[in-house]
Amino acid sequence: MIHNRIRSWLIGLAIFINIVLISLFISTHDSTSKIIKSTTEYVVGSDPNPARIAQEPVFSPNIVVVTTTVTVDLPTPTPTTPENCIDPYRRPGYLFAPTSKKSRSRVAVYANARYVPYYDDLLERPPPPSAQYPPPRDVSPTTNAEQIFRENEIPGDLLSQAPTNWVLLLRNWLTLIKNPTPNSGSYAYKIFQQISWLKNKRVLLLADSVDRYMVDHFCKDLNLTTEDYILPNRTGSRCIVSELNFTVYYWHVPSMYTSRPSWWFSDLIEYVSFENRTENLFMPLGIDDVKGENGQSPDLILYQSLLWDWKANMIGYRKSRNMSAFADVLSRPLFWAELDFYRARQIKFIKYFRDLFGADVPMMYRAAAPRREAGPAEISIYQLDKMARLVAAYHDIEVFDWGHTLHGYGEFYKDSIHVMNGPHATVYLNMMFYYLHRASGGIEVKGTIVQTPEQAKAIEGYNPADAWARCNLYNTRLASH
């Protein structure tokens, strides 16, 4: 009896020690899910029932072996994102598109359009009188007891947290220096101090016509003309701000396909694969031109080929089955073989351009943008988008998530897929400048510039590659979502 009590006590002690050890292991290790097996031995004497050896706990004549197997979900490290690394364009927010006061129409004064991100302090704002419950008895515009909401301006303190409107600054500066007045000199100089970091910078868009239109809109906003310097079919275009030696380049990437199939749908495209296009079109006509301040690479690259992959997959499917040109195949989900092909080519694409421009070149995947009218045709586009996000995250590439600002704004589309020169074009361009500013060493927190690229360069031991890498760890955790 005494032996049994001692044995029971020792067994209980062993189990308790194992639980403590497991707890300590969980608290000091990070992983996803592991099987933890812990074995503890204690000498206690003989066991009168050898059959219990196969049961739990396990006994031997002179040793108690307590084996505890537990499946636990160990926490993945989720470091808190520093305030200066919070990406305002990845947060929920509000598209501020002011209307023309003269016409009172919904036509946006696009130069003043802003994306206003929501931060946690918004939740701490006092409720407006209209949200009072029970509702007030007196009916007045102040209390809004009738729940009729009238047009009003977004509060200034919220609007001030929107990222800098670089497009408007650049536009105003060019207007002032090209059309000077006796009093414009000091104002122009003040703006120049804010935008001088753009000197000698290069942005490269490896994309399709949706992004090409953004280059056109950028030039139009500045009263400049887009130059189509690689033909045919606008294979390459650029917008040059000569006063700053700043250029945005566009190179067309017509899908991830490796060759030009016999059924290819565009006679104007001779080279289809990005390898052939780069070697036969882009490199001979200006590979050095797209190299920015460091002389080795563009200062920022945005890439995607979603619409052309979508179209190629759909037409290839139709051709392989001898289907009519009018057969509706645009809304079918992709086969796994198509997604697996796309995955492999995305990986190759990233490696190819990192080999060409250097592993440290700041690259961003420009995520899918919705069509003007959402429908079944978007199924395969978002299947491709999810795969591209996964590949991007694995390769420490952040997401240029402009598309989420477009949902529901069909009135600002030029056609079914292209966005007109309106508030969303301004947001796209300001996003581009925000990330370029960060890649150049600038830091912006809640709409306030806390470090300029010039100040970053003055820091002892400054390395341009560190400017992008500083926040890359935190922002790539969002890329695969």
At residue 481, the pLDDT reads 52
Give me the percent of the chain exceeding a pLDDT of 90. 58
**pLDDT: is 395 or 319 the higher one?**
395
Residue 178: pLDDT band (50, 70, 90) is very high
Amino acid at 167: V
The residue count for the chain = 481
The model carries a pTM of 0.81
> For 46-105, what is each residue's pLDDT tens digit?
444 444 333 333 333 343 434 434 444 444 445 578 888 999 999 999 999 876 555 444
Considering Cα of 98, then 221, then 437, then 194, what sign does the dihedral take?
A: negative
Q: Is the pLDDT of residue 188 over 70?
A: yes
Domain ranges of the chain: 2-73, 83-156, 166-476
**Contact of 342 with 256, CB cutoff 8 Å:** yes
Q: In terms of CATH architecture, what is 166-476?
A: 3-Layer(aba) Sandwich (3.40)
**Residue 70 buriedness (CB in 10 A; 0-12 / 13-18 / 19+):** middle
Q: Give the CA radius of gyration of the chain.
A: 30
Average the pLDDT over 334-341 and give the result: 97
Q: Calculate mean pLDDT across residues 121-131.
A: 88
pLDDT in tens, 261-291: 999 999 889 999 999 999 999 998 778 999 9
> For the purposes of burial, counting CB atoms within 10 Å of the CB of 104, is it exposed (0-12), middle (13-18) or buried (19 or more)?
exposed
Rounded mean pLDDT of the chain? 83
The pLDDT tens digits for 131-167 are 888 877 765 655 555 677 777 788 999 999 999 999 9
CB-based contacts of 317, cutoff 8 Å, min separation 6: 323, 329, 332
